[in-house]
Amino acid sequence: MRGGLERWKRGVGSRGVRQAMDYALRGTCDSHLRSSGAVALDAYSGVGAATVTRFVAARDGVTHDELDADQLASWVDGADPLSGEHRGRRLESPHADLVLDSTVNAPKSFSIAALIHPELATEFEALQDRLRDRIISTWLVELNARRGMGGRIREDLARIEVVELQHRRSRALDPHIHRHLWLGVKVQGLDARWSNVDSRVAMRVQNLINAEGDLAARTDPEWLAALARHGYSLNETGEIAELAHVVRPLSRRSNQIEANRAVHLARWRTEHPGEEPSHDVLQRIDRYAWATGRPDKPHDLDEAAWAGLVRDEITDLDVYVLNARPPVELRPRHPDAVDRALLARRAVVDADERSRSNNGRFSVLDVRAGATRAVAASDVSGARDELQRLIDDVTWRALAHTRDLLPDAQGKPAHVKALVTHEFADLKTRLGERLTCLSVSGGDPADQQQDHVTTENSLKLGIRLDPTQAAAALAVAGGERLVTVTGPAGTGKTTLLRAARWMLEAKGRRMLIVAPTRKAAAVASREIGATGTSVHALVADHGWRWRTDDAGAQVWWRLRPGQRDPATGVIFRGPRHMRLGPGMRIVVDEAGMLDLHAADALTALALETGAGVALVGDPHQATPVGHAGAMALAQRRAGRAIELSGVHRFDDPLYAALTLCLRSPRSAEDAANIAAELQRTGHVRHVPDSDAARAALVDGYFHRQALSRTVAIVTATNDEAAQVNEAIQQQRVERGQLGLGRMAIGSEEQRILEGDVVQTRRNDRTAGIENRAIWTVTRIGPAALELQRMDDSADVRTITREYAAEHVHLAYATTVHGIQGETTDTSLVGPGVDASGLYVGLTRGRRHNEAIVISTTDSGARKVIADEMMRGLPEPDLEDAAHAAYRDLSRTAHDMDPESRAGSVATRPSDGDRAFESGYRRWVAQVTAWILAARTALLHAHAVSAADEAQHHARLGAVEPHAELSATSRAELETRLTCYERMLADADQQRHEAPVSDARPDARRDPGELPNLGLNPPAEGRGI
């Protein structure tokens, strides 16, 4: 079970309240609501006796009642729904939060099973009820309000309120039972005051909420028993194994029915010009749409007829799927039988995988979520409270695999992202050392002399270089082993590389172009005229291999000639395609997208072969799918580091200069000044809300397209891109630019039409397709689609419908990764992007670039742009990561000190001595588990090191990859281990010297004030 957390804003004229009413009481689906915009005030009038359920969670339990339309409107607006009295300070800003909407989704096979079996439908509802209760209780203990000057003090919560909405179908009317939990932003603290919840913490807690859903779906004993009675079991992904095979075909079949409906409706209107289809006509046509149509009033559906049609569709896919099945035997694993060390590693991998947008940093809360997911996938089953002990143990074991970037910061809140994995820290350290070695190793002394080729010589080749381009070309063609060329967008990196290739060839040297993706390598190779390949293909040719281990971590290792590849069984004989040697210049294009693992292998290869490396790109542009920072690390260590300053892409030279400032603001004040200049020069437009922002992007597309200009649209998320894509496609249909005669289905069930702009998302050597290439669909046939490359009309490829359904999506709008390297006439940037998204988006257009931000004032728009400029900046070294973690910590609220808390009117509830004893025993058990896990990790690391050393002296054979801790990490872990063992002994001694029965106030400490590992153990009930 998974879903996001959406913030419902007040909006202009409080229309966010009106949207909420229509959404809650008329059953309008979220996607439909977003596409239709705000509704009129009377949209929810006349709903009769429709009500929603409100849950009130307090420290003494949870109660619930029903709210009618007027009461719900009052509640959403921040008032008591019964008395109408407003709670706390009323925030009138259009950007003020009203509710936080958590969508709770389950695997789709659950909804199919519920449709087939009424008993399972009842059990599924009960499962969701239990999950709802768990989520509400988690919110109560994990969230907080803020108090004091600047909100610096954390206030625990005494009361929260949640409204639940239950939906049976997706927006496409597929069976999709899901719920929305609306957390009211008005919460009551322990001090009895009402205020807004700390939404920043809520957004981070959502990771744990999603993990709770996974745990419920896969371990709840009552749900698993109900499935077993009907002959069902869960597979390794959490879907019902016996129904998983119909999930994707049902979605595709539904999509095809929607396409058929559109075609029939279009044909009917062609045959009946000026007429509208009658109810009877539409009813006949609707049989093609009921699975995936988008009606305005889902509540008007006939439930029995809808269920019957879906069952018919399922039967068409598998005639036996509705047959009764014999019960299956449940064989859940006991919590004591699981490999807790493996679960701990999986927990850390989960946290690390989700940390890419934070440069590899994650929080204790993320580790808890990872531990919860690891337990969920371990085939255990049990009551939720019973599983918490296992989750706590796995969490503490997992923390032994992490490095604390702020070890001296006591009392860090659990959501502060101040942890990294040992492997990540070691990789950054090792890569930095190798880059330093490469930089100081030098090259051929003759090549290190100033090259006689000048800018004038390059003109003979028809290549015009500005001074920084000439310097960069000379550096690439020179003798320094490590060179970086930082090229902001539009600075002519391709041009200078063509000149550098000519210089190298004139001296009898060669250039090899590599890039992080096949697409980028192919484009660079074609434009520069040098041999090209991807970084991964190059290092693989020289023996590097990578895979995911049993914990899900990516492990890299290297085969030596004569060793057998464990994956293929083939003896590795050495490089076959790309031999390297002294004098060879490896140029990494788009180096800002080079991940740490690939950079480490490439640097080691260069050191070994004597080749030189030139990284050309921009660390401020799109980051890699893996961990980022390689380009920035190389910049700090390069023998020659050239920064291009002449921007050639843009028609406006003043804007070209401004983009250089936009790329890397020196401070928050600098960012504010740059934002003001962007606004003054017409590159920023503010709109009141997200609906208006989406409309501005769509309108901008058609306005610029009407001027015969190419347009790029950059969005913050894939979901935003999908909504803009569908809106543009629909308008193109209405304008007659696209026809409905032929259709195909793309990924995420998107409709693909002839003439659509699409992007391919997977390399296919057979078809000659590259990942992230952008195409126009020129023809859709019965079995295949014909694509024409957007930047080369002569390049036409054919893909199968199967490939399209998996790996093709609309590309009028895309995220920053999808637009990296593209150049258009106009570029529009949607709201909510980070620094790289803003920079890349505002540097794609030759003629015009514009950012759309949500704000009602010019000053607010400038602040939004300035904040985006500073969000997600690179953190090359661990020291930079520590500074970023400290900035994160400085923005958070902290617990009040014990003396101040003791003197306040309302104190944290405590049962005195008994509570302290319980908390102390729990803390001791957790620290002991951590110490055991740390000792185990050290023993394993020493064993791996010894095995590798023994293998070094043994005969070469099959090499199995090992992920070991470096000597530095082992030393750090040993230091922490000694420290925590001493802390445990000191705590025990202090406990006996100052017994709990002592009447002194400081002896009756709150369990939350126990000694900590730099990570405070929480109060009872909160978990680790």
3-state SS of 950-985 is HHHCCCCCCCCCCCCCCHHHHHHHHHHHHHHHHHHH
Two tokens at 44?
């929810």
H/E stretch holding 835: helix 835-841
What is the three-class DSSP state of 539? helix
Do 183 and 37 lie in a common domain?
yes
Residue 516 maps to which CATH number? Answer: 3.40.50.300
Do 606 and 684 lie in a common domain?
no
What is the three-class DSSP state of 583? coil
Residues 6 or more apart whose CB falls under 8 angstroms from that of 383 comprise 221
Do 617 and 681 lie in a common domain?
no
- Cross-strand bridge partners of residue 850: 828
Residue 1022 placed within a domain: no
Nearest-10 crossing angle of helices 878-890, 422-440: 140
Residue 331 placed within a domain: no
- Cα gap 588→644, rounded to integer Å: 16
Place of tokens 């009413």: 21
Task: Report residue 901's pLDDT band, with 50, 70 and 90 as the boundaries.
Answer: very low
Using left for φ > 0, alpha for ψ between -120 and 50, and beta otherwise, residue 754 falls in beta
DSSP β-ladder status, 640-643 and 482-486: parallel
- Cα gap 907→893, rounded to integer Å: 17
- Cα gap 494→469, rounded to integer Å: 10
Do 823 and 761 lie in a common domain?
no
What integer is the mean pLDDT of 356-361? Answer: 87
Is the pLDDT at 911 greater than 50? The verdict is no
What is the three-class DSSP state of 236? coil
pLDDT tens across 447-496, in order? 544 444 444 454 445 577 888 888 889 999 998 999 999 876 667 788 88
Residue 843 placed within a domain: yes
Residue 991, domain extent: 911-1009
What integer is the mean pLDDT of 815-831? Answer: 82
At 762 the pLDDT is 86
215-224, 334-343, 594-603, 699-708: least confident range: 699-708
The total number of structural domains that make up the chain: 5
DSSP β-ladder status, 544-548 and 554-558: antiparallel
Residue 757 maps to which CATH number? Answer: 2.30.30.940
Select from 742, 751, 747 the least CA-distant residue to 760. Answer: 747
- Tell me which of 166, 198, 230 is where a domain ends: 198
pLDDT tens across 522-557, in order? 888 888 889 899 999 999 999 999 999 999 999 999
| Highest mean pLDDT: which range of 99-108, 601-610, 623-632, 709-718 | 601-610
Q: Are 637 and 439 in contact (CB under 8 A)?
A: yes
- Cα gap 20→1016, rounded to integer Å: 38
Continuous H helices in 460-506: 467-477, 493-506
Two tokens at 137?
């209780």
Q: Are 72 and 50 in contact (CB under 8 A)?
A: no
Do 32 and 118 lie in a common domain?
yes
Is the pLDDT at 915 greater than 60? The verdict is no
Task: Report residue 78's pLDDT band, with 50, 70 and 90 as the boundaries.
Answer: very high
Residues 6 or more apart whose CB falls under 8 angstroms from that of 931 comprise 977, 980, 981, 984
Residue 177 placed within a domain: yes
Continuous H helices in 666-792: 668-680, 690-706, 718-734
Continuous H helices in 400-489: 422-440, 445-448, 455-459, 467-477
Residue 900 placed within a domain: no
Is the pLDDT at 1000 greater than 60? The verdict is no
111-125, 187-201, 523-537: least confident range: 523-537
Do 805 and 832 lie in a common domain?
no
171-185, 406-420, 528-542: least confident range: 171-185
Do 804 and 824 lie in a common domain?
no
Residue 1016 placed within a domain: no
Q: How many CB atoms sit inside 10 A of residue 300's CB?
A: 8
Do 800 and 854 lie in a common domain?
no
Do 572 and 665 lie in a common domain?
no
Residue 302 placed within a domain: no
Select from 145, 154, 182 the least CA-distant residue to 167. Answer: 182
- Tell me which of 603, 622, 643 is where a domain ends: 643
Do 538 and 653 lie in a common domain?
no
> What is the 3-state composition of the chain as percent helix, strand, coil, each rounded to the nearest 5?
45, 20, 35
Q: How far is CA 434 from the centre of its chain?
A: 30
Task: Report residue 434's pLDDT band, with 50, 70 and 90 as the boundaries.
Answer: very high
Q: How far is CA 300 from CA 85, 303, 305, in A?
A: 36, 9, 12
At 248 the pLDDT is 75
In this structure, what are the phi and psi dihedrals at residue 556, rounded to the nearest 5 degrees? Answer: -110, 140
Sheet with 774-780: strands ordered across: 792-800, 784-789, 774-780, 757-760, 808-810
The DSSP code sequence of 171-202 is TT--EEEEEEEEEESEEEETTS-EEE--HHHH
- Tell me which of 791, 809, 827 is where a domain ends: 809
Select from 129, 121, 434 the least CA-distant residue to 307. Answer: 121
Residue 411 placed within a domain: no
Q: How far is CA 579 from CA 437, 476, 609, in A?
A: 22, 19, 9
Q: Are 62 and 169 in contact (CB under 8 A)?
A: no
Task: Report residue 663's pLDDT band, with 50, 70 and 90 as the boundaries.
Answer: confident
Do 834 and 755 lie in a common domain?
no
Q: Write down the mean pLDDT value for the chain.
A: 80
Do 628 and 660 lie in a common domain?
no
